[in-house]
Structures are given as structure tokens and as C-alpha cells.
Amino acid sequence: MGGLIIDSSSQTALDYCTLADIENYSGIDFGTASGDMGPTETQIATMISNASRMIDTYAGRQIAGQLSVSEYFDMNQWLRHVVCGLRPVASITNAWTVSDSGTETVLTQGRTRNSDDYWLADQEAGIIRFHGQWADNIGAGSFKVDYISGESAAPADAKMATILWVVRAAARATLNDENCMERVKEMWARLLKSTEGELDWWLRQIRQDNPVAVASYGLRGAYGG
């Protein structure tokens, strides 16, 4: 039977944008402003982290951040490829055949047919393909693969949604600040109004980008085919 083991301790939460991104979008240098034009740099940093996790909650998954994964697949004589359970696959750490008795044999990654056993054919789809000579001679047992799954940085839609989320949070905080000047509040009020539709559009893109089942083609008996 196949199986998937996730090392959740290897995953770290990433911020999906930076202070500079917020400053570039809003046109405000929060360090120079020292709170006179809105939140401080420290407050913006907290907003960025909170917004990043809110974007994850909206998407129903952690959009960026990498995990160490071990996965097992049943082997048979028709096996030509496998589809990893967590995608995208950033890289393959190592792979083995595992006999029924538990003996592990290290396999070689590469595209050279006569010396290598497998290669990562499609990172986004998580497809690992095998060279014919090796696949024709496998017997009972398992194919074990350790890989790194996930994005190392937020894609453009998540980054833009985070920027807009933070800008809107900063605007609301400023509008509620009794000590802030009216002209500053007017600027933030315009930003708050103009970003509502834009944020909704980017959030829809995130929903559309959620992972779907991967269909792959190959010879009969291929796992995930």
C-alpha cells in the first residue's frame, strides 16, 4: 500500500509581502513618518504576518512554505511514473526501492537512461518518471521517495492580496486614531475605498488557483494514471 509521511515540523510560516511592498503601494515611508502618517513599521510588520495567515485561511491551505515529505508507492512491472501526493514538488531529496523484507536500495536521479533510474518530470504536477530499463525489472515492494513540497515564496496573487489586506488594515487603524490629522485620514479613506474591489478580485484568483487533482497519462497500472 502507498503512504505519505509529512514532517510538519519542517514547515515554517512565511510572510507573503514585505514592508517595502506596502510602502511602494501606499506611497508612505513608515519609518520616516514615525506614526504621523499611519501605523509604525512594527505595527505594519504585525499586520503583514496576520494578513498572510488570513490569506491562508481564505484559501484553505498554506499557500507558501515548504515541507519535507516521505511517500511510498506500490510497485509493479508496468510502473512508469508516480504522482506525488503533495504538490508542487520543489526537489527530490532521495529515492529507494524497498523490498518486501524492508531492504532499501538507493536509486539514482537523472535523465541519462543507461545510468539513472528516475527524474522529476513535472514539478507543478509532482510527476516522477522512471527509465524503462529499471521499470521493466522491478518486482514486488515499494518505491520510497523523500522530497520537498511547496512554494518557497508567495505567488503573485497571494502577494498582491496580502499587500491590499495590510493597506486596508492600516487605513482602518488610521481612521480610528483620534490623534491623526484629518488630511492624513482623508488619504487613507481614499485608499480604503479604492482597494475594496481590487482585493476581492485578487482573492478570487487565489480561490481559482487552489490545487486540483492531477491527471497524468502512461501505461496501464501506473500509480496516479
| Structure confidence by residue, pLDDT tens digits, 15-38 | 999 999 999 999 988 876 555 788
Listed residue (15, 18, 16, 19) closest to 40, CA to CA: 19
Q: What is the mean pLDDT of residues 47-68?
A: 93
* Amino acid type, 37: M
pLDDT surpassing 50 at residue 127: yes
- Of the CA atoms within 13 Å of residue 139, those in its CB half-sphere come to 5
pLDDT of 34 reads 55
Distance CA 148, CA 220 (A): 28
Greater confidence (144 vs 180) lies with 144
pLDDT of 216 reads 47
pLDDT surpassing 60 at residue 77: yes
Q: For residue 31, what is the enclosing H or E element?
A: helix 30-33
- Band of pLDDT at residue 213, cut at 50, 70 and 90: low
Distance CA 209, CA 6 (A): 23
pLDDT in tens, 84-125: 998 899 999 999 998 878 889 999 999 998 899 999 999 999
Q: What is the mean pLDDT of residues 201-224?
A: 63
Q: What is the percent of the chain where pLDDT is above 70? A: 87
pLDDT of 218 reads 44
Lowest mean pLDDT among 12-21, 40-49, 85-94, 213-222: 213-222
Contact between 45 and 189 under an 8 Å Cβ cutoff? The reply is no
Contact between 23 and 29 under an 8 Å Cβ cutoff? The reply is yes
Q: What is the mean pLDDT of residues 203-219?
A: 66
pLDDT in tens, 133-177: 554 455 557 899 999 998 888 999 999 999 999 999 999 999 999
pLDDT surpassing 60 at residue 217: no
